[in-house]
Amino acid sequence: MKKTTAYAPASIGNVSLGFDILGAALAPVDGSKIGDEVEIESATGPVLFEFAVDGQFANKLPTEPRENIVFQCYQRFIEACGNSDAINAPIKVTLRKNLPIGSGLGSSASSIVAALVGLNAYFDAPLSDHQLLTLMGEMEGQISGSIHYDNVAPSFLGGITLMTGLTESIAVKLPVISEWYWVICYAGINVSTAEARKILPASYSLQDTLTFGRQLAVFIQALHTQNAKMASAVIHDVIAEPHRKRLLPGFDEARQACISSGASAFGISGSGPTVFAICESLDIALQVEKVLAQQYIQTDKGFTKVCRVENQGATVTG
Ligand SMILES: Nc1ncnc2c1ncn2[C@@H]1O[C@H](COP(=O)(O)OP(=O)(O)O)[C@@H](O)[C@H]1O
Ligand SMILES: N[C@@H](CCOP(=O)(O)O)C(=O)O
């Protein structure tokens, strides 16, 4: 029996200073995985697509399989392959939903990336990486209301990625500051990305626009010159955080506590409620993790993790 399994890591959209333009893939330092998995195996038919879900957050998914983004990925994958005979074989697809939904950890992106990487590997790579990434952005846009690549690109390619806005080269990988630990804390409540996008203003002041451009340029220069202090000094969100933080109980207090505990930067992961703190040593990261667990988690679904940037991105694991 033919079988393929794909894994796609969670990601931090925006990295605070780069709304829709920067994203970072995550790998917990304890060696565990943080991301969804999709398993594809041959089936006997007569239907072409059988679907099952399991994993910790499976019960939070839409009950109608057609509403699951993985099913929609399959439909678009087949279309993109020109409905060729080579992919008209019955399959059973199982989504292992390990990421909470509406968490700010790129949960839908992780399902999308794992599904498309898995399907492409199972059917012997009919689509190029560029075609896959284009499709991933389209699927993410279907869920959140507008196409943004800052979760799908890092989850697919790994590393810290910069979205170029160019059709031919959608995303590029940036250098990573290797000493940084990224502490994440999911509060255990849900924030819909689509709703969190709707509350943002349609236009911004000249001052905010200049700050946004300057910080992004300085951050990228600092990554290329491995200047950790300069990079963390410009991690401030002038686009989304001022409007979104009211959706996040205890956000300002959590930031204050993390900075007092030695974190170099703090911000919202994606559209929240997850927050992230950048720390320059493991000792600081463990202290910050403790503070976040005590102060920011709201329900028994919440969790913290100390991570590094996942450099590899999505992988075919079996
Ligand atoms: N496989 C899937 N993973 C996550 N969300 C899914 C999936 N399939 C469908 N959905 C729906 O997509 C929406 C995802 O919400 P969103 O706030 O964008 O989550 P996230 O920010 O965690 O990606 C929810 O309405 C959810 O029910
Ligand atoms: N750039 C997007 C990122 C959304 O990330 P998610 O993990 O909350 O889906 C935004 O900020 O809207």
Query: pTM of the entire structure?
Result: 0.97
Within a domain: residue 33?
A: yes
In the chain, what is the straight-line distance between the N-terminal and C-terminal CA atoms, in Å?
A: 13
- Of 197, 201, 185, the residue nearest 275 (C-alpha): 185
Reported as a single tens digit per residue, the pLDDT across 182-215 is 999 999 999 999 999 999 999 999 999 999 999 9
236 within some domain: yes
Q: How confident is the model at residue 172 (pLDDT cuts 50, 70, 90)?
A: very high
Q: How many domains does the chain have?
A: 2
Q: Give the pLDDT confidence of 207-220 residue by residue, as tens digits.
A: 999 999 999 999 99
Ligand 2, atom nearest to 196 Cα: 12
Q: Same domain, yes or no, for 168 and 202? A: no
| Inside any domain, residue 214 | yes
Would 155 be classed as within a structural domain? yes
Q: Which ligand is nearest to the CA of 197?
A: 2
| 103 among annotated binding-site residues | yes
Q: How many CB atoms lie within 10 A of CB 310?
A: 25
- Residue 45 and residue 75 share a domain: yes
Q: Are residues 201 and 131 in the same domain?
A: no
Residue 108 in marked binding region? yes
Using omega within 30 degrees of 0 as the cis cutoff, is the peptide bond preceding 100 cis? no
Does residue 86 surpass a pLDDT of 80? no
159 shares its domain with 196: no
Q: What is the CATH number of the domain that holds 301?
A: 3.30.70.890
Contact between residue 9 and residue 314 where contact means Cβ atoms under 8 Å apart: yes
Residues 215 and 138 both lie in one domain: no
104 and 230 together in one domain: no
Give the mean pLDDT of 265-279.
98
* Judgement on whether residues 28 and 124 belong to the same structural domain of the protein: yes
pLDDT at 81: 93
Mean pLDDT of 295-309: 97
The answer on 302 and 243 residing in a single domain is: yes
Across the chain, what does the average pLDDT equal? 96
The binding-site residues of ligand 1, defined as CB within 6 angstroms of any ligand atom, are: 61-62, 67-70, 95, 101-103, 106-108, 111, 143-144, 192-193, 270
Say whether both 15 and 158 belong to one domain: yes
Which residue has the least CA distance to atom 4 on ligand 1? Answer: 108
Q: Same domain, yes or no, for 204 and 277?
A: yes
Cα 292 to the chain's mean position, in Å? 20
pLDDT per residue as tens digits for the range 235-261: 999 999 999 999 999 999 999 999 999
Residue with tokens 């100390």, as numbered in its chain? 306
Query: Using CA positions, which residue lies closest to atom 26 of ligand 1?
Result: 61
- pLDDT given at position 318: 85
| Dist. CA 6–CA 52, nearest whole Å | 15
Structural domain span for residue 34: 3-174
Judge whether 101 is annotated as a binding position: yes
Q: Are residues 210 and 283 in the same domain?
A: yes
Instruction: Find the mean pLDDT for residues 276-299.
Output: 98
Q: Is the distance from CB of 305 to CB of 184 less than 8 angstroms?
A: yes
Q: Indicate if the pLDDT at residue 144 is higher than 90.
A: no
Amino acid code (one letter) for 192: S
**Is 315 inside any structural domain?**
no
Is the predicted pLDDT of residue 84 greater than 80, yes or no?
no
How many whole angstroms from 110 Cα to the centroid of ligand 1?
10
Residue 5 Cα to ligand 2 middle (Å): 26
Pocket of ligand 1, candidates 97, 143, 150: which has the most ligand atoms within 8 Å of its Cβ, to mutate? 143
Task: Verify whether ligand 2 is closer than 6 Å to residue 76 (CB atom).
Answer: no
Q: Give the domain-ending residue among 144, 174, 204.
A: 174
Q: Is 105 annotated as a binding residue?
A: yes
What is the enclosing helix (H) or strand (E) of 285?
helix 282-295
Cα–ligand 1 centroid distance for 153 (angstroms): 17
Residue 45: per-residue pLDDT: 81
Q: Output the pLDDT for position 294.
A: 97
Check whether 128 is labelled as a binding-site residue: no
Does residue 318 lie within any of the structural domains?
Answer: no
* Centroid of ligand 2 to alpha carbon of 21 (angstroms): 11
CATH number of the domain to which 23 belongs: 3.30.230.10
Q: Report the alpha-carbon distance of residue 194 to residue 149 in Å, rounded.
A: 14
Residue where a domain terminates, one of 128, 154, 174:
174
Answer yes or no: do 9 and 146 share one domain: yes
Q: Is residue 317 part of a domain?
A: no
- For residue 161 and ligand 2, the question of a CB distance below 6 A is answered with no
- Of the three residues 174, 197, 217, the one that is the final residue of a domain is 174
Residue 122 lies in a domain: yes
> In angstroms, rounded to a whole number, what is the distance separating the alpha carbons of residues 304 and 263?
15
